[in-house]
Amino acid sequence: MTPPSELTAVAGPATIAASGDGVPNYLKVHYWWAYVHPRAVRLFERQWLVDLILFGNYRQLRDAALAELGDRLPGRTLQVACVYGDLTQGICQRVAAGEGELDVVDILPVQLDNLRHKLAPGSQANLLRHNSADLGLPDDSYDRAILFFLLHEQPEDVRIGTLSEAFRVVKPGGTVLIVDYAKPSKWHPLRYLWMPVLKVLEPFAKDLFSRDLTNWLPQPWASQNFRRWSFFGGLYQMVKIEK
Ligand SMILES: C[S@@+](CC[C@H](N)C(=O)[O-])C[C@H]1O[C@@H](n2cnc3c(N)ncnc32)[C@H](O)[C@@H]1O
């Protein structure tokens, strides 16, 4: 889909390169309709729509991530990128129960504003504008990081940068939790409907699940305490890695 001219998208290879406003080109070129345009935010910020896009699996995936994070989140938690729906509200409640701290980073001011409006007054969350592939946050400073459906939207160099930054800022012994698409098996009834749709709307998704997620992890964590869960006949995966 062609972005409207006011978004000044720069066609060409989708890399980490950002235009003057700091927004990476791949977001402007491929995701203006989902995240960048203010009308996109108004359209997509509907839990039922996000659920529909995930074939009715949003709640299950959100709850699996929250359950894996735990009921109480003491210390420092980092959510890398905003998400539509109420995942962050769930994390906030757990952070409050654990008397911890939550930082949420995103590169788009419009997304951070949207999240600010969604959070209950008095929620303990710091909303920070950063690129996930260049976080500018201190080393070993978080107890855990969560990446919910972010990596499939990023071209390979950005994806590698995002994972390397997540592992850099998490403390030794801390965890990185990833929820994202996985490669549907050959027998999956949605495979033949889903793959052509993904190709058009999510051009980097196939690349993400063409290889095992460990392929994109920085060494030495690629082979470290690694747990994986599969959902909806393998269409989605959740991975937890201890640093
Ligand atoms: C987490 S992803 C997809 C979430 C999922 N589709 C949903 O909303 O449920 C969407 C977010 O990632 C952000 N994002 C994408 N690339 C980014 C980057 N390089 N740095 C920071 N945020 C980024 C977008 O601005 C957007 O807010």
- pLDDT tens sequence across 45-60: 998 998 888 889 999 9
> Residue 11: its pLDDT value, please?
37
pLDDT grade for 18, boundaries at 50, 70 and 90: low
Q: Which of 91, 114, 87 has its CA nearest to residue 103?
A: 91
Tell me which DSSP letter residue 131 carries.
Answer: B
User: Do residues 204 and 155 lie in contact, with contact meaning Cβ atoms separated by under 8 Å?
Assistant: yes
Do the beta carbons of residue 11 and residue 29 sit within 8 Å?
yes
Give me the pLDDT at residue 164, please.
96
pLDDT at 120 over 70: yes
Of 147, 139, 173, 48, the closest CA to residue 88 belongs to 147
Q: What does the pLDDT look like over 121-132, one tens digit per residue?
A: 888 899 999 999
Say if residue 82's pLDDT is above 80. Answer: yes
- The rounded distance, in Å, linking the Cα atoms of 126 and 228 is 29
Mutational pocket test of ligand 1: of 44, 80, 82, 134, the residue with most ligand atoms within 8 Å of the beta carbon: 82
Residue 116, token pair as written in the block:
């600010």
Q: Is 104 in the pocket of ligand 1 (CB under 6 A)?
A: no
Mutate to test the pocket of ligand 1, among 42, 107, 151 (most ligand atoms within 8 A of CB): 107
**Whether pLDDT at 90 is above 60:** yes
The residue among 105, 106, 133, 137 whose CA lies nearest residue 16 is 133
Instruction: Tell me the pTM.
Output: 0.91
What Rg, from alpha-carbon coordinates, does the chain have?
17
Position 190 scores a pLDDT of: 77
Our answer on whether the CB atom of 236 is closer than 6 Å to any ligand 1 atom is no
**134 DSSP β-pair partners:** 131
Find the distance separating the first CA and the last CA of the chain, reported in whole Å: 39
